[in-house]
Structure 1
Amino acid sequence: MDRQGTAEALQRLADEATAREPSLGTVLARLADAVREGRTTEAAAYTGAVDPRGLAELLAGKHSRLWAVLEVIRNVLVFAPIAVTWFGLSIAATAYAQLLAARPDLISRPFLLLWQEGFEGRVVLNFSTLAITDASLIGVLIVLSLALHIRSEIRDAQVRTRALLKESEIRALLGHVSSLGALDFGTGDAESILADMAAEERRIYERAAEREGQLFDLEGVVEKLRDAAVRLERAADSLARR
């Protein structure tokens, strides 16, 4: 694949990425322009900014609006049974207080029985209606969660396969971009790089030689200190014998 073909492949990838993530599409489009115009330094910078795995996962995953809406509904309905239950208890408690204020003789009757009877017409949402409503909401939650889970299990395997294939394509394309940049070094650039490498090697050698000389001097000092210690030890022995 030549430079023009590589740039066109990058542009197609940029168009595909723009629909999902405009910022990534912009980076890939600029990379395509840099490759097309031979700006190797800029192309290398943009190549380093692209994450092949993340880009592949973004492009491989297809989002369904219907399933996204169903997932939002499932997440919202999680709190619905709790909200409905507490709403029913609230109006039941209010109606119970009003009923006892009007008829104190009913205080001996169970609260749930009075609620089931509607507190003599004071509430429409009696106990059994509330229970059926909660059970229905929980049933809908179970069905939605099961459907989303099954779809996720099936879809994830397909997405992983597509993502791996897409990642290999992206890595191959970016590798080709890097190889184009490497081939674009001219003779002067190569000689300059080699000269810099040779100069750096000389500096490293000089520093190593300097360190070696310092170590040699240190060894001489240590040897002198050792001789002085021996002489001091002998002098101490002679003094002790006297």
Structure 2
Amino acid sequence: MNVNGVAAIVTGGGSGLGAATGRALAAAGARVALLDLNEGAAAEVAAEIGGLALPCDVADAASAEAAVARAAETLGPARILVNCAGVATAGRIVGRNGPLELQAYAKVIQVNLIGSFNLMRLVAAGALALDPLEGGERGVIISTASIAAFEGQVGQAAYASSKAGIVGLTLPAAREFAPSGIRVCAIAPGIFETPMLRGLPQEVQDSLGAAVPFPSRLGRPEEYARLAMAIIDNPMLNGEVIRLDGALRMQPK
């Protein structure tokens, strides 16, 4: 899909992977709405790229519905969605203080998995009503999984299962929307330079990066954005979960 002039929505657009993807889309001529719980952070990126910043709790139906409607009013109905909003709360199923609080597990599932589905259903509904572009495409939806979906470590039960849910969602969604020309893919990043990781001591960041076979460093948000743009550009990419990890395979701990 040629994104020039096309409306796009990026969740988690105030920082990290979402901000990098918003910048890449805008640079290619897309009209970009950045959705984030932190409206101030999204507004900073939006001002930089000439986009629209909107507050949104992706796990809340009414909040997401309002944000998608507002984006459509301002920029037109979105043909592109990139789900980057997420949380990575860690915790053993049974730790030193007993079993993990159920709400802590539910929160991760709500944001990472249900939040991605929430935006998918809303953006897809809008795109289905649009005329097809050249080649029959109506839209592209990309969600963010993780290599933890396949090799979750101790303490990642909530995070890994939320990302495994995104992996499981991708193919049935692609099959459902295929007759209407909406493609659905997911990216499964390895260890990336996100705000959370940048808060760790430099020696810890270096150690994490050294575990990656090649290149032996943390992934850069711009590299995630480049893959997202490649998926959008290539009409044969559909129903696929693509690892972006430098050949990293995570160990149990």
TM-score, normalising length: structure 2: 0.21
More helix by share: 1
TM-score, normalising length: structure 1: 0.22
Larger Rg: 1
